[in-house]
Chain A
């Protein structure tokens, strides 16, 4: 089953996603800040990273750029609680989806499915 990494500084979001995605039979790990998130992502093995834009230590965009080649086939879904310049930049340049918080779980599920399909194509 696909492995998903959740990077979010909000505990309630981490808990919700861990439990909800666990119910959907995904293997879920989580990190509460950007630095930890980057380390875990670098260690590899994840198919998808649901990453908040605004994070302590490193922001979502930095995690993506720091990873570079090490990202491999891993996909990203960004979430943002404030549609500011950083979020705009991610939307424009990364080509990954960016969901505004509070997001709809059904919509998230759809996007996760689409993202994981990309790995196999």
Chain B
């Protein structure tokens, strides 16, 4: 388990190099061992064969020397052996065990050789073995009998005389007369074996090194591109998608590199898209937040206007009864004055009374109008008739109506009405009231010799919505102070001189545009001018059917 973990933990290069080297090393060791073994055996066989040959030749040549027990004859024979470096010692013994001749000092003690000698004495064959000598030296010792041939007379011929051919009756018998012992040094064989071993080890090392080198080169050729890929993927994993793996291979690694490049490119693209989305999202959030803020402001404004409307309705309700009394009594009085003039009253006085009461009636009617405007501001649209109208035409009519007044005030009018405006559901009279109001306000705000611009345009439909129509009334007059902008649609708010305006014009306009489902907004800068914008939805008749079918009259109409 630990080994496996370690193996899996190793670098690819080590994973390849280690096992292959180990395998090659084991193979080389086995091979070298085998070869050395074979070589060593071969050396030994050669030594043995050499010894055998020598001892046999010596045995033949030593026959007479042993027969006559003549060292003088045997010594020169043995001294020829000194030419052979492998010969450690050699000795020739007679049957009694006396050494007749010998060469070399490195004798094997008799006792260790006794068994071998016994075997040699009893046999006529060669006996040989490896024996450790006196100084711990290993020797190859051979023992071989020296024999001579004897002519033997058969027993029946013994005692016979003359007339017998001896040559015919004699037979030859081989008889051991001594033995020769040869000790050969194994050192040379061992030396040769050692040389061979050294060479084998050296060769093994060379082959091993070469193998490691080749394996490293091969592994490098495979691992280098993988390392490059690993570095590239590491960069990619850390978010550097600009990484491109350079490759001119067309093998699996090359394919992998190309795949990684494609992946990196696709990741880069995805990240760019996500960043783009994020940016767009942020912009959208900001935009929507602003819209939400605007909507909230408008909601607060419209709630406030609603509350004011309720208040106005309450005030109107309370005022209508006393106004009814005032108006009624004024009319009643007028009628009575016309019918029954008191006797003592002069015509001048009568005229005066009629004028007073007439004024009371007139001013009460004015109050009635104000209260009705208040009620209109507070009321819903259910009481107003909506028709298919051309708003440009309504604006045209309004302009014709106020043109004269503008000319009198030396104010120029520039009209840029869109030509593609669709018709929409609305009340022409009410809208004309709004437009008149806006133009007259612009006129009051403008200096002489300035221009009032009126524009209209169509915002095309989005989805199921029918689009909107936008009107702008732009003046370059004195503008509205920032603190007043929020109040201008509130009833009774006016910046005009006392008596010049009731402060109901814009609040009524606001109510009318709301009834049309539209919006009225204002932008203004002090001393630069004011722009009033009216936006009306292009609604379809069926959308308004529920509202318009309900009712067709209101308080004013029924009077």
Instruction: Name A's B-contacting residues (CB within 8 A).
Output: 10, 12-13, 15-17, 19-20, 23, 54, 79-84, 87-88, 91-92, 97-107
Contact = CB atoms under 8 A, between A and B. Distances in A.
B8 to A, nearest CB: 86
B376 to A, nearest CB: 9
B328 A20 contact: yes
B555 interface: yes
Contact of A10 (B325, B335, B375, B553): B325
B357 interface: no
Interface residues of B, number: 32
A105 B331 contact: yes
Nearest to A52: B321
Interface stretch (B121-129, B179-187, B312-320): B312-320
Contacts of A81: 316-318, 320-321, 324
A12 B332 contact: no
* Interface of chain B: mostly helix, strand, loop or mixed: helix
B558 A13 contact: no
B326 interface: yes
Q: In the complex, which of the residues A23, A82, A83, A103 has the most CB atoms of chain B within 10 Å of its own CB atom?
A: A83
A97 B559 CA distance: 10
20 contacts: A12-B325, A15-B325, A16-B325, A16-B328, A16-B332, A20-B332, A81-B317, A82-B375, A83-B375, A83-B555, A88-B382, A88-B551, A91-B551, A91-B553, A100-B320, A102-B324, A102-B368, A103-B324, A103-B328, A104-B559
Contact of A13 (B324, B383, B556): B324
Contacts of A83: 375, 379, 383, 554-555
A22 B145 CA distance: 191
Contacts of A105: 327-328, 331-332, 335
Contact of B558 (A10, A16, A82, A99): A99
Contacts, number: 89
Contact of A100 (B322, B551, B556): B556
Contacts of B324: 10, 12-13, 16, 79, 81, 101-103
A87 to B, nearest CB: 7
A102 B328 contact: yes
A92 B383 CA distance: 11
Interface in B331-383: 331-332, 335-336, 364, 368, 372, 375, 379, 382-383
Nearest to A92: B551
B326 A102 contact: yes
B296 to A, nearest CB: 30
A23 B331 CA distance: 13
B323 interface: yes
A72 B233 CA distance: 101
A92 B318 CA distance: 24
B558 A12 contact: no
Interface in B501-557: 551, 553-556
Contacts of A17: 328
Q: In the complex, which of the residues A80, A82, A107 has the most CB atoms of chain B within 10 Å of its own CB atom?
A: A82
B329 interface: yes
Nearest to A13: B324
A9 B223 CA distance: 106
Interface in B472-528: none
Given A101-B323, A103-B559, A104-B327, 12 more contacts: A10-B324, A10-B325, A12-B324, A54-B317, A81-B316, A81-B318, A81-B324, A84-B313, A100-B320, A100-B559, A101-B321, A102-B320
Nearest to B371: A102
Given A16-B328, A83-B554, A10 B559 contact: no
A71 to B, nearest CB: 22
Contacts of A101: 320-321, 323-324
